[in-house]
Amino acid sequence: MKPRLNDRAGPASRQSETVTPISFERHPFSAEVIRHAVWLYLRFTLSLRDVEELLAERAVEVSREAIRCWVIKFGPLIAANLRRRRCAPCARWHLGGVTLISTVSEMGQGSRTGQIQILADELDVPWDTITVEMAVDREPYRYDGGLYSGGSQSVRTRFDLLRKAGATARAQLTLAAAGRWGVGLAECEAAMGHVTHALSGRVARYGELAAEAARLAPPIDPPLKDAATRRYVGKSVQTLGLADKTNGAARYGIDVRMPGLARATIRQCPTYGGALVSVDEAPAFVVPGVRRVVKLQNAVAVVADDTWSAFKGARALEPKWTTPPLRLNSTGLPDRLTAAFEADGATVASTAGADALAVRARLRVAFAAASKTVQATYEVPYLSHSPLEPMNAAAWVKPDRVEIWAPCQDISNLRVAVARALGRPVDQVEVNVTLLGGGFGRRLKNDYGVQAALIAQAHGGPVQLVWRREEDMAHDFYRPASRNRFRAALTQGDLIAGYEVVGATTDDTAVGGAGPAPYAIQDFANTQTALATGVPVGSWRSVDASITTFGRESFIDECAKAGSRDPLDYRRALLGDHARARRVLDAAAEGIGWGQARGAGSGVGLALFEGWETLICHALEVETAGRKLRVRRIVVAVDCGTAVNPDQVKAQCEGGSLMALSAALGEAMTFTDGSADQTNFDSYPLLRMSQAPQIDVLVISTPGVPIGGMGEPPVPGLAAALANAVFAACGERVRRLPFRAVGWSA
Amino acid sequence: MISFIVNGKPARVDASSDTPLLWVLRDRLGLTGTKYGCGIAACGACTVHVDGVPARACAIPLSAAEGKAITTIEGLSADHSHPVQRAWIEAQVPQCGYCQSGMIMAAAALLKITPAPTDADIDATMTNLCRCGTYARVRRAIHMAATMGA
């Protein structure tokens, strides 16, 4: 039976079947926090201010007014349940739970679960006695100077830290017990939340010892547990909070509610860089329930009693906007990108590195001596993030404090941006992070949070801003469009001796992802140019690699073809003695049945990728019939060192692969006169169930190496594996995404 | 004033008759489990059951709800024990989870009509969007729920 976490239980899971379940629905704070606050107030002679301070010490920011309301509302209910389950007079009640204060936003990547597993192993507690609270944005809770979730690092960068924290606390608790009992430290053992002195039979719970332990000096280098004794790391324990996502209980940013909450929506200037000139507010007020119209620098918002009235009010307006000079037309973009990287002196960024001159000299020699050269140009479009939960945030601007509730990935940045927009000190701004209905890099941005704050400032009470899908899709920070020309010098065996990439990307320089890792190709140069278009761009799951790996892994196949070599053998030859890369490559190839005879129109393709310290290989099987394409199967072989939660690793591989497949098959944002052409899913098609193939994930372990990230690595290689498979199936080489744009239907 | 039943309880709502049922549920009745994803019935995040039949609540004006029995994700089972919900947990389906209310309501409706759906049945009827890419697990969980006697 897999361990389960009922994350609506009280601490130490002492739920009894006979008590009356209490509903904490529609409260932004968790049941655990509310119960604890009410218990503190009722159990001890504390004032509301005392309770407020005690909670703040545990990184929970809640006003004493809220606590007063909780006491009134929940006190009698909790007291009734306490009476029902009070045990014999000699029993003592300890809080006993462990709280992990995490800087990670929860957007479906399961990082909090992984962090709990790591901590539970070293601290030696049952994993379901650990609850997670979101850190507040101040020291010592920040990680690396802020609160930020992205870059595939929430588990891998905390692995060593959490182990040390758990081991340190365990050592202190053991020492505290030994001190209390006056026995030798070596005679005491800490396990599963208790310290035991076997010789005398004495036992103490961690909760009883915590206060004393905290007063002891922490050991500098506490011993860490051997991997063989791990109870949780390496096991697929069930994901925290998953049950709530199956019954409507999970609360996202868009579900934040509080008394007096007004609702708002926004119309932003449809042309990027434009500003609001004027708007006649009257049409909005025709809609019942509309309370106010708020003008912002480049947008107009409508505040109403409910969301639909706000939507209607906003749609009724006819704002006048300025026309900015820089307005993109997508029809001319490919030529402009080519012209940008072919122009003299086009370099903005180059990854040839410190010995750039030497590398380029060697490349010149390699091209001069090459038996063959291969050249191909690859093109990728702008992409929208399109998380299913549209952009939203709630805000309340009070005289001495600004509160934001937002599903966001970069809390520190949001606080600074809101403070600046309102002219307040950053200390006055608090951000409550809600569950995110998808992040993918979009919710790193501050725009929706700052807008909510400005609207709330104008309105005076709490306001929740919800973007319509049309605003979300037309006002993204898109994955940039890019064109990259790859050119390789082939040497003996038609292997790549060296290659160079010259490319241009819209409003960005895609310097990552085109390089040779994990292949042992010594000489590589990447020269990148940014083309200014005025369309806002940002990080889209796997960032640069999402742009350039399509070219890189397609190009490897094209070089293999130039030498009439099998793409699998070719990659093996290029890898040298990179054992980990070789293992994932071979596993994926074997998994897809590489080398089996296939009928006409059926083909398999590979793509290998190394990034965020993870090795991953995609193998795809496709069928083509005329211009119809069907992906039959995806095999992913992944090595992230130690899979803290193998099922989570598999889930990221499945999800990342399907997101990449969605983009490769049919996604493209285009622009006319500086405005988005696509504004909803009818014109920007996301992958559907009927297009999603079977996915098999093979998780390969390499103990003793740094843990690799898993949020992004499954994305970059998929598109090239698809292109390579289609080539194998029918001989057509697709060098431009999405497939739909070059006549394929899937 | 429009009257209908939601999760077995009577509801009376005074709002403009063109208000989509989605927003009535979310903003007037406090049922936030049904989600807004697109507003044009393209994503299915707002899927509810109307007299037992799956429907996208963003496309149902309040006036059309008069006299109907609506079931939302909150009312799918009294104690979160519907076979689809149990299968979703067993198969660890949700990632961000935002689309899953609609996905589950669509799956529950499918299983009521077709207790042992084939992959082709699933392809044809499960048109809800999931950006996190949980489709493979959704499919597996539907097959699992079918064996649990949905």
Please determine, for residue A441, whether its predicted confidence score (pLDDT) is greater than 50. yes
CB contact under 8 A, B136 and A695: yes
CB contact under 8 A, B96 and A389: yes
Q: How far is A658 from chain B (nearest CA, A)?
A: 5
Identify the closest residue of chain B to A287 by CA–CA distance. Answer: B16
Contact assessment for residue A224 and residue A264, using Cβ atoms and an 8 Å cutoff: no
Of B27, B80, B129, the CB nearest to A247: B80
Percent of chain A whose predicted confidence (pLDDT) is above 70: 93
Residues on chain B touching A666 (C-beta within 8 angstroms) = none
Q: Check CB contact of A258 with chain B, cutoff 8 Å.
A: no
CB contact under 8 A, B128 and A108: no
Q: How far is A619 from chain B (nearest CA, A)?
A: 17
Q: Which has the closest alpha carbon to A70: A2, A22, A6?
A: A22
Q: Check CB contact of B72 with chain A, cutoff 8 Å.
A: yes
Which chain A residues in 14-53 lie under 8 Å from chain B, judged by CB atoms? 26
Of residues A632 and A353, more confidently modeled:
A632
Q: How far apart are CA B48 and CA B6, in angstroms?
A: 10
Q: Check CB contact of B26 with chain A, cutoff 8 Å.
A: yes
Q: Check CB contact of A687 with chain B, cutoff 8 Å.
A: yes
Residues on chain A touching B36 (C-beta within 8 angstroms) = 254, 307, 390, 466
Please determine, for residue A2, whether its predicted confidence score (pLDDT) is greater than 90. no
Contact assessment for residue B84 and residue B111, using Cβ atoms and an 8 Å cutoff: yes
What value does the mean pLDDT take over residues A117-140? 88
Residues on chain B touching A659 (C-beta within 8 angstroms) = 131-133
Contact assessment for residue A640 and residue A697, using Cβ atoms and an 8 Å cutoff: no
Residues on chain A touching B37 (C-beta within 8 angstroms) = 388-390, 469
**Confidence band (pLDDT; 50, 70, 90) for A4?**
very low
CB contact under 8 A, B36 and A390: yes
Which chain A residues in 409-468 lie under 8 Å from chain B, judged by CB atoms? 435-440, 466, 468
Q: How far is A515 from chain B (nearest CA, A)?
A: 28
DSSP string spanning A445-485? --HHHHHHHHHHHHHSS-EEEE--HHHHHHT--BBPPEEEE
Task: Give the H or E element holding residue B61.
Answer: none
Q: Which of A21-25, A150-154, A558-562 has the highest mean pLDDT?
A: A558-562
Please determine, for residue A199, whether its predicted confidence score (pLDDT) is greater than 80. yes
Please determine, for residue B78, whether its predicted confidence score (pLDDT) is greater than 60. yes
Which tens digit of pLDDT belongs to each residue from A239-272?
Answer: 988 999 999 999 999 999 999 999 999 999 999 9
**A290, β-bridge pairs:** A304
What value does the mean pLDDT take over residues A367-375? 95
Q: How far is A246 from chain B (nearest CA, A)?
A: 6
Q: Check CB contact of B80 with chain A, cutoff 8 Å.
A: yes
Which tens digit of pLDDT belongs to each residue from A152-187?
Answer: 888 888 899 899 999 999 999 999 999 999 999 999
Of residues A283 and A102, more confidently modeled:
A283
- Per DSSP, chain B holds a count of helices (H) and strands (E) of 5, 5
Q: Check CB contact of A407 with chain B, cutoff 8 Å.
A: no
Which tens digit of pLDDT belongs to each residue from A685-696?
Answer: 999 999 999 999
Please determine, for residue A325, whether its predicted confidence score (pLDDT) is greater than 50. yes
Please determine, for residue A549, whether its predicted confidence score (pLDDT) is greater than 90. yes
Of residues A97 and A301, more confidently modeled:
A301
Q: Cα angle at A405 between A289 and A680, to 5 degrees?
A: 65
Q: Which of A9-18, A145-154, A335-344 has the lowest mean pLDDT?
A: A9-18
CB contact under 8 A, A239 and B23: no
CB contact under 8 A, B96 and A436: yes
Which tens digit of pLDDT belongs to each residue from A517-533?
Answer: 999 998 998 888 999 99
Q: Check CB contact of B64 with chain A, cutoff 8 Å.
A: no
Q: Which has the closest alpha carbon to A281: A308, A306, A318, A309?
A: A318
Please determine, for residue A326, whether its predicted confidence score (pLDDT) is greater than 70. yes
CB contact under 8 A, B129 and A681: yes
Q: Check CB contact of B56 with chain A, cutoff 8 Å.
A: no
The residue whose two tokens read 């588990």 is A155
Contact assessment for residue A38 and residue A71, using Cβ atoms and an 8 Å cutoff: yes
Identify the closest residue of chain B to A108 by CA–CA distance. Answer: B96
DSSP string spanning A620-668? EEEEEETTEEEEEEEEEEEE-SS-SSHHHHHHHHHHHHHHHHHHHHH--
CB contact under 8 A, B129 and A682: no
**Maximal C-alpha separation, chain A:** 90
Mean pLDDT, chain A, as a whole number? 91
Q: Cα angle at B63 between B60 and B68, to 5 degrees?
A: 75
Which tens digit of pLDDT belongs to each residue from A53-80?
Answer: 888 877 788 888 888 888 888 877 776 6
What are the contacts of A203-209 at 24+ separation with CB within 8 A? A204/A177, A204/A180, A205/A94, A205/A96, A206/A96, A206/A98, A206/A125, A206/A173, A207/A12, A207/A94, A207/A95, A207/A96, A207/A97, A208/A92, A208/A94, A209/A173, A209/A176, A209/A177, A209/A180
Identify the closest residue of chain B to A541 by CA–CA distance. Answer: B132
Q: Check CB contact of A261 with chain B, cutoff 8 Å.
A: no
Please determine, for residue A716, whether its predicted confidence score (pLDDT) is greater than 90. yes
Q: Check CB contact of A254 with chain B, cutoff 8 Å.
A: yes
Q: How far apart are CA B121 and CA B127, in angstroms?
A: 11
Please determine, for residue A123, whether its predicted confidence score (pLDDT) is greater than 60. yes
pLDDT at A53: 87
Q: What burial letters (b/e) apply to A494-506, b meaning 16+ CB within 10 Å?
A: bbbbbbbbbbbbb
CB contact under 8 A, B33 and A688: no
pLDDT at A26: 63
Q: Check CB contact of B44 with chain A, cutoff 8 Å.
A: no
Please determine, for residue A196, whether its predicted confidence score (pLDDT) is greater than 50. yes
Identify the closest residue of chain A to B37 by CA–CA distance. Answer: A388
Residues on chain A touching B45 (C-beta within 8 angstroms) = 388
